[in-house]
Structure 1
């Protein structure tokens, strides 16, 4: 069992000196605790009994820690200004006599990073993560056995890139001694970084590279790193490490709300706060800005928050941004039809373009329809992913038509936002509606509109058709105060903030890749069982699937729903008037393994149905 750790802390931190002043960067504080003390606390909790700190710049700060913690011993590198981290480590060769963890002093990381290495079967292990794209990364090349080949900050130095160096490594005593003996023979070894010392003997000693893609961590080398740490990484780590206990997990295969992480659920457990306080205003400002940056830039676009379901955001747009001209609404599913209903209720002049619910939009036909509209059109509205079927409409192509005919495009992105990459500028989107509880994997209760600022400002003089959902007044009030006009759903917004952090950590493209694997598992499974899905693969969103119901006369959806519910799954009825279907959504905090389990349960149910055991409860 590893009981010793080494912290490399001799660096001058010159790239962040304006913030640190004359303190080492390891003394930057999070929650009024220095980074290095966060690390020390994690080490002691993990069972580390002895901590060596290789010091240099402002060694006195670390020596004070040695008075505070009896487990700490400082070893000074007097040449810290002209030497690299390998030389600081080298100076510890006469005081270390056992295996140890090697940790950089400017890291913020989950405590699991230590236990992974301390309990690892290999004696020399380098901890690696997915690529963070945070800047100044050390990239790793491995062989087919997961052994280290090379590490470098320059991609050109590597034949392949498997991951990124975290900055926490397990070294055996014998390997450490071999590193020291080897580098003594190299010219200018005192200028090397420690990772170069490891690479120098990687052809002699196998260093196992352990890849941990879900590990949350960062280093702090510059102001950008610090901002990322404060706003993103540290809150995410705190949430993950402060989960009191796991909550019973239900697999929601309905198209939202989706299965959420425990950290999103627990994010709602906060001290009471008046939503008019500046502190809560900053929470909403963070949410608004981050949602905007998923699909556009803050200079051109803004996010307007509402308490309400996704339909509230759609209704806000339709009732607020159309003045005295007409709108064309594409209807190829229940949610296109809903937009028509909203337009009708508000007395808008609208033209409905009906398109098949299971086929891609015929763009030539749509263009002809636009040309044949007898009045002046100002807007076009379309659902990106039609939640009733899973059909994915081609936003880029529709956006090109809007640009050609000078139409402002309104997009219901309820079932695509935060899963399918969207670029509002490239796709010519003026207004986009979405909500907190689908691919963002937050709780239900918050909807939002992401709007082109220039176009939104033009609506200032439009006749106001409602109060709560008026888009411009909500936007203007938030712009002035960082507040909603009316009482917001406080706890749901805290959960949304956490969900945003987790979305950023996973990445939208990676999330869609995970969803896609689940969808492929679903399609393969239902096809094997003889069931058919409605939408062709080429036009499918890979998010929600409408499945034709079994043909057995004894089939009953409610009975099937209850069977799955008893087994921890929730499924959803269909929403296509002309066909009997049920829907399965593969969104939320689930994986293809959950879908495999669903398929096994479905197979069991279909067998029971075919056998006609209606007198027995399955």
Structure 2
């Protein structure tokens, strides 16, 4: 399947750049980058209209058909937006159940610690998702919990968490759900008509394929209204940002104007590809082709197929003593591909992203490059250590 690109789009290697096989920043369309060549006045009516267009399109992408949700863009990286959501929607006397199975769930727990707000954690390690029944049991055991936080796609392992069943467990007990959809929104379903939540966050430079510079919160309007006075921060107050935009159409503080312009072009390309379904289908094909090819070389995925997301895949490092990840990374970069180091706590690993302006033909070249890199290092087998497989089996049991 060829993915649609604008007439001015060019594959990254033709521009002398490697493909970014990361969970964002990622390889963007040339027309998206080109959209940043014009300067915009942040107070000007044209830019206010751009902000309004951005918010309207994102709310529509979330599946809101009843006008019950609003979008609030927030300056900064994805972690800024996550902290803004937690600090704004959780009352100061609230308590959060953080569901963690990787670095980003644990980062949310660390954020709560910095905020000085009550929280507890279900930590599933690197291999398994939190399930609805255990979330329900935790809520039954602790009536003080007011909110649950879950990462839709935990990119430290590449695991796709079952948000729908978690949401059912949360709202069956009268609690509220907050979703980190940083590396999933735009490619994986998070339709508010099917999955209930109070608020979710994502970022410009993920599955919508924009460039870094802002995140955004999509939240129930009633939750936004109730968030007044909750925030620990002036700059990260989602309610204050929303209220200012409602009144003036402007961001409270200097917005990343060029990034917004690029994002609108990325949204246009996203719609041309078929929206969430089209983008998700390409990423899924990217994953399937790449995983099959890497397994044929002898590599082993951290996760079983059931939990593999189409966003990023984690592989065990080979046991062969000639394998050295820095050399492997350099060899892949020399062939036009920037991969991602591992972020696991127990075993050595690395990650290959499936998102950005690339398709299955690029992924076949990724596999060929990996094979060449192994040969260059004199690695006879890409099979992982027996201990890594045993540890996965033990923790996944």
TM normalised by structure 2 equals: 0.90
Equivalent residues in 2 for 1:454-465, closer than 5 Å: 454-460=222-228, 462-465=229-232
How far 1:240 moved relative to its partner? 4.1
Task: Determine the structure 2 residue equivalent to 1:385.
Answer: 153
Change in Cα spacing, 1:592 to 1:463, as seen in structure 2 (3 Å) is closer
Task: Determine the structure 2 residue equivalent to 1:293.
Answer: 60
Change in Cα spacing, 1:497 to 1:582, as seen in structure 2 (3 Å) is same
**Distance between the aligned counterparts of 2:279 and 2:221, measured in 1?**
28
Task: Determine the structure 2 residue equivalent to 1:514.
Answer: 282
User: In the alignment, is residue 360 of structure 1 matched against residue 120 of structure 2?
Assistant: no
Deviations 1:31-50 (Å, cap 9, x if unpaired)?
xxxxxxxxxxxxxxxxxxxx
**Distance between the aligned counterparts of 2:116 and 2:286, measured in 1?**
42
Task: Determine the structure 1 residue equivalent to 2:94.
Answer: 325
Residues 19, 337 of structure 2: 8 Å contact kept = yes
Deviations 1:402-461 (Å, cap 9, x if unpaired)?
11011111000011110012212321111101001111111111101000111111112x
Residues 359, 536 of structure 1: 8 Å contact kept = no
Aligned-partner SS, 2:37:
coil
Task: Determine the structure 1 residue equivalent to 2:108.
Answer: 339
Aligned-partner SS, 2:233:
coil
Residues 574, 580 of structure 1: 8 Å contact kept = yes
* Match 1:473 to one of 240, 244, 256: 240
How far 1:611 moved relative to its partner? 5.6
How far 1:528 moved relative to its partner? 0.7
**Distance between the aligned counterparts of 1:434 and 1:463, measured in 2?**
21
Change in Cα spacing, 1:579 to 1:241, as seen in structure 2 (3 Å) is closer
Residues 133, 169 of structure 2: 8 Å contact kept = no
Aligned-partner SS, 1:587:
coil
Equivalent residues in 2 for 1:431-450, closer than 5 Å: 431-450=199-218
* Match 1:572 to one of 340, 343, 347: 340
Residues 257, 438 of structure 1: 8 Å contact kept = yes
**Distance between the aligned counterparts of 1:598 and 1:533, measured in 2?**
16
Task: Determine the structure 2 residue equivalent to 1:425.
Answer: 193
Unaligned runs of 5+ in 2: 381-397
Change in Cα spacing, 1:609 to 1:242, as seen in structure 2 (3 Å) is closer
Deviations 1:216-259 (Å, cap 9, x if unpaired)?
xxxxxxxxxxxxxxxxxxxxxxx74699x974442110111111
Deviations 1:39-89 (Å, cap 9, x if unpaired)?
xxxxxxxxxxxxxxxxxxxxxxxxxxxxxxxxxxxxxxxxxxxxxxxxxxx
**Distance between the aligned counterparts of 2:230 and 2:291, measured in 1?**
48
How far 1:486 moved relative to its partner? 0.5
Change in Cα spacing, 1:611 to 1:486, as seen in structure 2 (3 Å) is closer
Aligned-partner SS, 1:424:
coil
Residues 313, 352 of structure 2: 8 Å contact kept = yes
TM normalised by structure 1 equals: 0.59
**Distance between the aligned counterparts of 1:240 and 1:256, measured in 2?**
24
Aligned-partner SS, 1:299:
coil
Aligned-partner SS, 1:429:
coil
Aligned-partner SS, 2:350:
strand
Aligned-partner SS, 1:582:
strand
Structure ranking higher in strand proportion: 1
Larger Rg: 1
- Higher relative CO (Cα under 8 Å, sequence separation at least 6) belongs to 2
Residues 552, 610 of structure 1: 8 Å contact kept = no
Change in Cα spacing, 1:498 to 1:331, as seen in structure 2 (3 Å) is same
User: In the alignment, is residue 488 of structure 1 matched against residue 265 of structure 2?
Assistant: no
* Match 1:350 to one of 108, 115, 119: 119
Task: Determine the structure 1 residue equivalent to 2:393.
Answer: none
**Distance between the aligned counterparts of 1:327 and 1:606, measured in 2?**
45
Task: Determine the structure 1 residue equivalent to 2:377.
Answer: 609
Deviations 1:135-189 (Å, cap 9, x if unpaired)?
xxxxxxxxxxxxxxxxxxxxxxxxxxxxxxxxxxxxxxxxxxxxxxxxxxxxxxx
**Distance between the aligned counterparts of 2:9 and 2:27, measured in 1?**
20
Residues 424, 430 of structure 1: 8 Å contact kept = no
How far 1:350 moved relative to its partner? 0.4
**Distance between the aligned counterparts of 2:325 and 2:363, measured in 1?**
19
Unaligned runs of 5+ in 1: 1-211, 216-238, 613-618
CA RMSD, Structure 1 to Structure 2 (Å): 2.1
Residues 247, 262 of structure 1: 8 Å contact kept = no
Task: Determine the structure 1 residue equivalent to 2:306.
Answer: 538
* Match 2:138 to one of 365, 369, 373: 369
Residues 22, 353 of structure 2: 8 Å contact kept = yes
Aligned-partner SS, 2:224:
helix
Residues 28, 210 of structure 2: 8 Å contact kept = yes
Q: How many residues align?
A: 375
Aligned-partner SS, 1:441:
coil
Deviations 1:292-330 (Å, cap 9, x if unpaired)?
110132611111011211111100011111111211110
Aligned-partner SS, 2:246:
helix
Task: Determine the structure 2 residue equivalent to 1:597.
Answer: 365
Change in Cα spacing, 1:213 to 1:440, as seen in structure 2 (3 Å) is closer
How far 1:371 moved relative to its partner? 1.5
Ranges of 4+ aligned residues in structure 1 off by more than 3 Å: 212-215, 239-243, 245-249
How far 1:372 moved relative to its partner? 1.6
Equivalent residues in 2 for 1:28-427, closer than 5 Å: 214=4, 240=7, 247-270=15-38, 272-297=39-64, 299-323=67-91, 324-373=93-142, 375-427=143-195
**Distance between the aligned counterparts of 2:182 and 2:89, measured in 1?**
19
Residues 309, 445 of structure 1: 8 Å contact kept = yes
**Distance between the aligned counterparts of 1:325 and 1:547, measured in 2?**
38
Deviations 1:253-290 (Å, cap 9, x if unpaired)?
011111111110101011x3321111101001101111
